[in-house]
Amino acid sequence: MIDAHGLTVSYGDRTVLSGLDLSIEPGGFTVIIGPNGCGKSTLLGALARAVPSAGGSIVLDGKQLASYRAKELARHLGLLPQSPTAPDGITVAELVARGRYPHRSLVSGWNEQDEAAVTTALARTGVTELADRFVDELSGGQRQRVWIALVLAQETPLLLLDEPTSALDLAHQIEVLRLCRTLNEQGSTIVAVLHDLNQAFRYASDLVVMKDGRIVARGTPGEVVTAELVRDVFGIEAVIETDSQAGSPLVTPLWGDEG
């Protein structure tokens, strides 16, 4: 669905990504992990053309990403950035309706297809009952569901989520990740940046591990997660066990004399 080859991204004199290759196949739940500053969010932004690249190429559905018009691109992928903000005084339904922008022209009015898309997005994210509430009145978990609903209203097959659990308490983090898994099971291809390793290992079908602007490991969590990888990438000693419920790797850091 989307392929990056030799991708290079720089901020001024600092190169963040250099010659990076990454292919995302349809139907997966890909999670990108790595230490702060390793280029995770930059990679996600580049895949959405929100961050300009300095070299290499990105192909989306067989076509160069750079050749897409803005509305056309927004019909192929949806990006949820870190900490999005909504205008004051906007309701949930009004915000989610903005996801229909790629499907409308200057002369087209609101139609049944737009209404159906918004209704479906609200229902899939479990926020239908919040439709008339103001966004700034909602809890963090509710707001994040609403933002995901906005992306769903775009009716794109590919969702790029940059730290969708950031600043949420544990209960809301789990709520959002379960929603992402459900959306993936319903057919959405998801690429997400996450910080919590055990959450990443539990929910990812495909794990991308980054360090210093490079991909250092790729595969299922069970294939790539080792104590050596955690030490080399994150600089911590840890024991890797198996999550008794999910069957995924479970990282327990070692502290002080425990190592």
Structure confidence by residue, pLDDT tens digits, 203-252: 999 999 999 999 999 999 999 999 999 999 999 999 999 998 889 999 99
Q: What is the pTM of this model?
A: 0.90
Element (H, E) at 62: none
Closest C-alpha to 135, from 126, 125, 145 = 145
Sign of the dihedral through C-alpha 66, 69, 73, 74:
positive
Q: Where are the alpha helices (DSSP H) in the chain?
A: 40-47, 70-74, 92-97, 112-124, 140-153, 170-185, 197-203, 221-224, 227-234
Q: Which two tokens stand for residue 194?
A: 């996450």
CATH 3.30.110.40 fits 1-76+156-222, yes or no: no
Tell me the average pLDDT across 177-198: 94
Of the ranges 18-22, 121-125, 163-167, which one carries the lowest mean pLDDT score?
163-167
In the chain, % of residues over pLDDT 90: 79
Q: In the prediction, which pLDDT does 106 show?
A: 64
Indicate the burial class of 181 (C-beta count within 10 angstroms; 0-12, 13-18, 19 or more). middle
Q: In the prediction, which pLDDT does 107 show?
A: 66
What are 59-80's pLDDT values in tens digits? Answer: 999 999 999 999 999 999 999 9
Query: What does the domain layout of the chain look like in residue ranges?
Result: 1-76+156-222, 88-155
| pLDDT, mean over the chain | 92
Tell me the average pLDDT across 5-32: 94
DSSP state letter for 151: H
